[in-house]
Amino acid sequence: MPLVYSLPALQRTILSSLVLLFAAGIFAPSASAADTLTVYSGRGERLIKPVLDAFTANTGIQIELLSSGTTELVNRLKAEGDRTSADLLITNDAGSLELARTAGLLRPLNMREIDRAIPSQFRAPDNAWVGLSGRFWIVVYNRTMVEPNQVKSLLDLADPKWKDKIAIPNSGSEYLQAGVSVILSTYGEEKTRQFLQGLKSNADTQIYQKSSQIVEAVAKGQVPLGIVNHYYVYRYLATQPEAPIAVLMPDQQEGGMGAIMNVAGVGIIKSTKHLDSAKLLVEFLVAQAGQKLFADLDKEYPLHPDVKADPALAERKSFRAAQVPLTKLAELREPTLTLIEQVGLR
Amino acid sequence: MSTIRQQLASPLQLLALATAGIILLPLGYVTAQALSADPAVWSRLWATRIPELLFNTVSLAASVAIITLVLGVSTAWLVTRVEFPGRRLWEGALVLPLAMPTYVLAYVYSYLLGFGGPVEHLWQLVAGPQARIFSPHSYGGATLVMALDTFPFVYLLSRSALLSMNVSFEEVARASGVSRLSTLWRVTLPLMRPSIAAGVALVILYVVSDFGAVSLLRYQTLTYAVFQQMTGRSDNTAASILSLLLVGLALIFLITERWFRQRSRFYQTTGHYRAPQRHRYGWLGTLAVTGYLGLIVGAAFALPASLLIQWSLSPEAQATIDSRFFGFVWNSGILAASAATAGVLIGLPLAYLASRRPTMLNLGCLQAAYAGYVLPGPVAALAVLVLFTKLAPIFYGSVLILIVAYVIHFLPAGLQSLEPALQHITPNLEEVARTLGLGMRDTWRRVTLPLVRNGFVVAWVLIFLQTMKELPATLLLRPVGFDTLAIRVWMEASEEYFQLAAPSALLIVLLSLPALALLISKDWRAA
pLDDT 10s digits, A78-104: 878 888 889 999 998 898 999 999 999
Shortest alpha-carbon distance between residue A140 and chain B (Å): 17
**Same domain for A266 and A256:** no
Q: What does the alpha-carbon distance between residue A84 and residue A66 come to, in Å, rounded to a whole number? A: 12
The domain spanning residue A108 has which CATH number? 3.40.190.10
**Chain A, window 85-114: residues with a beta carbon less than 8 angstroms from a chain B beta carbon:** 85-86, 99
pLDDT interval class at A30 (50, 70, 90):
very low
A21/B contact by beta carbon, under 8 A? yes
Flag whether B2 is in a domain: no
Looking up residue B241, the CATH number of its domain turns out to be 1.10.3720.10
Q: Specify whether A188 is located in the same domain as A292.
A: no
Average pLDDT over all residues of chain B: 82
Contacts of A65 in chain B (CB under 8 A): 480-481
Write down the pLDDT at residue B475.
85
Q: Do B115 and A171 touch (CB under 8 A)?
A: no
The answer to whether position B3 is within a domain reads no
Whether B344 shows a pLDDT value over 70: the answer reads: yes
Contacts of A92 (CB under 8 A, 6+ apart): A42, A43, A70, A135, A174, A175, A262, A264
User: Hey, how many other C-beta atoms are within 10 angstroms of the C-beta on A221?
Assistant: 14
Do A270 and A252 lie in one domain? The reply is no
Range B445-459 burial, b when 16+ CB lie within 10 A, else e? bebbbebbebbbbbb
Residue B177 belongs to a domain = yes
Q: Measured between CA atoms, how close is B455 to chain A, in angstroms?
A: 16
In a domain, A144, yes or no: yes
Number of neighbouring beta carbons within 10 Å of residue A280: 16
Domain hosting residue B309, numbered range: 9-525
Q: Are both A255 and A284 inside the same structural domain?
A: no
Which residues contact residue B391 at a Cβ distance below 8 angstroms, ignoring those fewer than 6 apart?
none
pLDDT digits (tens, 9 = 90+) for B231-283: 777 777 888 888 888 888 887 887 887 777 776 655 555 444 566 677 788 88
In a domain, residue A21? The reply is: no
Helix ranges (DSSP H) in B263-359 = 283-297, 303-312, 315-318, 323-356
> Mean pLDDT across the stretch B412-422?
77
Domain that holds residue A285: 36-134+262-316
Q: Do B116 and A220 touch (CB under 8 A)?
A: yes
Residues A225 and A119 in one domain: no
Asked if residue A272 and residue A125 are part of one domain, the reply reads yes
Which of B342, B386, B395 is the closest to A17 by Cβ? B342
Q: How far is B260 from chain A (nearest CA, A)?
A: 29
Report helix, strand or coil for A40: strand
Q: Where are the alpha helices (DSSP H) in A130-210?
A: 174-187, 189-203
Averaged over B433-449, what is the pLDDT? 81
Same structural domain, A271 and A231: no
Is residue A289 a part of any domain in this protein?
yes
Shortest CA distance from B229: residue in chain A: A172
Is B521 within the bounds of a domain? yes
Q: Which chain A residues touch B342 with a CB distance below 8 Å?
A: 17, 21
- Minimum mean pLDDT range among A217-231, A322-336, B266-280: B266-280
Interacting residues of A179 by C-beta distance below 8 A, sequence separation 6+: A137, A154, A227, A260, A262
pLDDT of B170 strictly over 90 = no
Phi, psi of A89 (to 5 degrees): -120, 125
CB contact under 8 A, B398 and A26: yes
Express as a percent the part of chain B with pLDDT over 70: 92
User: Do A70 and A121 reside in the same domain of the chain?
Assistant: yes
Residue B489: inside a domain, yes or no?
yes
Is the Cα dihedral B279, B156, B210, B419 positive or negative? positive
pLDDT of B499-510, one tens digit each?
A: 888 999 999 999
Query: Is A161 found in the same domain as A86?
Result: no
pLDDT band at B159 (very low <50, low <70, confident <90, very high): confident
pLDDT value at B379 more than 80:
no
Whether B495 sits inside 8 A of A177 (CB atoms) is no
User: B4 in a domain, yes or no?
Assistant: no
Query: Quick one: pLDDT band at residue A34, thresholds 50, 70, 90?
Result: low
User: Is residue A12 included in any domain, yes or no?
Assistant: no
Whether residue A240 sits in one domain with residue A185:
yes
Q: Which residue has the higher pLDDT, B390 or B8?
A: B390
Count of domains observed in chain A: 2
ipTM reported for the complex, 2 dp: 0.76
Total count of domains within chain B = 1
* A63 and A129 part of one domain: yes
Work out the mean pLDDT of chain A and round it to a whole number: 86
Size of interface A-B (CB pairs under 8 A): 170
Residues in chain B closer than 8 A to A343 (CB atoms): 48
**Cα–Cα distance measured from residue B260 to residue B250, given in angstroms and rounded to the nearest whole number:** 15
